[in-house]
Amino acid sequence: MPNIDNDVAGNMTHPWLDLDGDKLREECGVFGAINAADASAATALGLHALQHRGQEAVGITSFDGKEFFSRRGLGHVAENFSSAEAIAELPGTMAAGHVRYSTTGGSGLRNVQPLYAELASGGFAVAHNGNISNAQMLRKDLVGKGSIFQSTSDTEVIIHLVATSRYPTIADRLVDALRLVEGAYALIVMTPEGMIACRDPLGIRPLVMGKMGDAVVFASETVAFDVVGAEFIREVEPGELLQVSTDGEVKSVHPFGKSPARPCIFEHVYFSRPDSFFAGHSVYEARKAIGAELAKESPCEADLIVPVPDSGVPAAIGYAQASGLPFELGIIRSHYVGRTFIQPSDSARHAGVKRKHNANRSLVEGKRIVLIDDSIVRGTTSLKIVEMMREAGAKEVHFRVASPPTAHSCFYGVDTPERNKLLAARMQIGPMREYIKADSLAFISIDGLYRAVGAKGRDKACPQFCDACFTGDYPTSLTDLRLKEQGGDELPFDDTKAA
């Protein structure tokens, strides 16, 4: 029997990210290693590099050739996997791990991945980054046929589809299951025969492949390879299924055919770490190019360019270089406002921005400043930052945004607020400027964003990226959303954000 009892609650703390929910939460991060002497240790290090993609919970599952072992906990990687004892509980040369925010399924240990099940063919563990947009429909059908679910995560649907498939091999059964799935996924699967990594046919969610000596490793971002000392080989292609056996054989198949890729463009804007590479480009250089393009499209007479830290820094550097205006750290971020044992009161919630950011008064007083941020979601944080600049004596406060207006919800693994809470869904640019109390407000255009990341512009007939949060052009069917809008039954794990 697998040892899957090592669930820990960490410190039972909750991530303090943005007290107003005014940032898009990254989806999740996955890492896997096979044929590695210290597979679990490498996985823990890789997940540490991916911590920005999910701070709610973490899990690692390993396989020693005979038995699967799992350890899961709430909180950060360091809180759960920093000790030698924790790693010793996960022996073997194959391991996979996951850091998460809950996009479907809610919080709680039962939803912490990798999810594990005993199938007729043996153990099966899966780590999933993304969101299945027809999971409710599939789950309802499976439950009607007798399936018993142990979690409220959409990922468990994949396990039940694999378990009920009639195909002979586990790879064929996985393909059979994924043919029924809509939405976005980057998967790392562990079986007694080896590891399988695959991406959805449009490549919406990222997944990369590397080598670490004789080991093959997979991760959501290349930065995880830097940390573990692995060599980046290539991206897992959209729709590709890579099988790595325990004897080192690597097999690649494209069972879904090939479609034009639509990777998430917000990886360039915000999600990926700046020191990663995504879609063939340095994320840092792409963000600088976004800032430079923004300066060309929306110049401003000002004295200083000030980033909203930390995510606005690369774009602000690009804006400053393109405009010839000086770049200054007019806002200082506290790196010690991270976690709290209790949910904050309303009064503490209102003070949240000042606890996280503080104006550098000596720089901004009497100056015309341009604030650069990666996005505006609800607008509440933008309003408070503008007010903070004015309180510090700024003469003028102009706001420039390194992405187009976020006017639509995401259904592909990003925790987006309901559409009626997105500022750009409720207001045009003028009213938005008045709401955040800026002297001027401008966003990069969708074509400008595409130019900054290496395209000539957005191909309306066949966009090169998934940009649905900006355009409302969803690249896949949204079956669960359609059923919900039609008044269909909601299942217990449904927290789909209404568009």
| DSSP state string for 185-241 | EEEEEEETTEEEEEE-TT--S--EEEEETTEEEEESSTHHHHHHTPEEEEEPPTT-E
The pLDDT of residue 16 is above 50: no
Residues 6+ positions from 62 with CB-CB distance below 8 Å: 39, 40, 43, 68, 69, 70, 90, 91, 92, 94, 95
Q: Cα–chain-centroid distance for residue 372? A: 22
3-state SS, residue 34: strand
Residues 259, 239: Cα–Cα separation, whole Å = 8
> Which residue range(s) make up the domain with 324?
285-474
Question: Does residue 492 lie within any of the structural domains?
Answer: no
Question: Does residue 220 lie within any of the structural domains?
Answer: yes
Question: Does residue 498 lie within any of the structural domains?
Answer: no
Give the mean model confidence (pLDDT) for residues 153-173: 95
Per DSSP, 496 falls in state P
Q: Are 391 and 404 in contact (CB under 8 A)?
A: no
Instruction: Indicate if 25 and 64 belong to the same structural domain.
Output: yes
- pLDDT of 40-82, one tens digit each? 999 999 999 999 999 899 999 999 999 999 999 999 999 999 9
**Which domain CATH number covers 25?**
3.60.20.10
Q: Are 155 and 114 in contact (CB under 8 A)?
A: no
Q: Cα–chain-centroid distance for residue 118? A: 28
Q: Are 406 and 468 in contact (CB under 8 A)?
A: no
Instruction: Indicate if 300 and 166 belong to the same structural domain.
Output: no
Structure confidence at residue 411 (pLDDT)? 92
Residue linked to tokens 């692995």: 230
Residues 446, 307: Cα–Cα separation, whole Å = 21
Residue linked to tokens 């930065």: 223
Peptide bond into 494 cis (omega under 30): no
Question: Does residue 42 lie within any of the structural domains?
Answer: yes
Strand (E) or helix (H) holding 455: none
The pLDDT of residue 496 is above 90: no
- Tell me the pLDDT band of 356, cut-offs 50, 70 and 90: confident
Question: Does residue 211 lie within any of the structural domains?
Answer: yes
Of the three residues 230, 262, 294, the one that is the final residue of a domain is 262
Question: Does residue 273 lie within any of the structural domains?
Answer: no
- Taking Cα atoms as reference points, which of 493, 475, 319, 363 lies closest to residue 408? 475
Structure confidence at residue 484 (pLDDT)? 87
Per DSSP, 415 falls in state B
Instruction: Indicate if 257 and 362 belong to the same structural domain.
Output: no
Q: Are 103 and 92 in contact (CB under 8 A)?
A: no
Residues 228, 350: Cα–Cα separation, whole Å = 40
Q: Which of 28, 198, 264, 410 is catalytic?
A: 28
Considering Cα of 378, then 263, then 220, then 278, what sign does the dihedral take? negative
Per DSSP, 83 falls in state S
* Dihedral class, residue 35 (left if φ above 0, else alpha if ψ from -120 to 50, else beta): left
- Taking Cα atoms as reference points, which of 493, 497, 443, 458 lies closest to residue 142? 493
3-state SS, residue 393: coil
- pLDDT of 253-294, one tens digit each? 999 988 899 999 999 999 999 999 999 999 999 999 999 999
Q: Cα–chain-centroid distance for residue 134? A: 20
For residue 266 the two structure tokens come to 């917000």
Question: Does residue 38 lie within any of the structural domains?
Answer: yes
Residues 295, 131: Cα–Cα separation, whole Å = 35
For 95, list phi and psi in degrees, rounded to 5: -155, 155
Question: Does residue 499 lie within any of the structural domains?
Answer: no
Residues 448, 274: Cα–Cα separation, whole Å = 20
Instruction: Indicate if 257 and 289 belong to the same structural domain.
Output: no
Q: Quote the number of domains for the chain.
A: 2
pTM surpassing 0.85?
A: yes
Residues 208, 241: Cα–Cα separation, whole Å = 12
Instruction: Indicate if 312 and 193 belong to the same structural domain.
Output: no
**Which domain CATH number covers 291?**
3.40.50.2020
- pLDDT of 287-297, one tens digit each? 999 999 999 99
Instruction: Indicate if 394 and 336 belong to the same structural domain.
Output: yes
Give the mean model confidence (pLDDT) for residues 95-119: 84
Structure confidence at residue 5 (pLDDT)? 45
Q: Is 28 a residue of the active site?
A: yes
Instruction: Indicate if 316 and 441 belong to the same structural domain.
Output: yes
Instruction: Indicate if 169 and 300 belong to the same structural domain.
Output: no
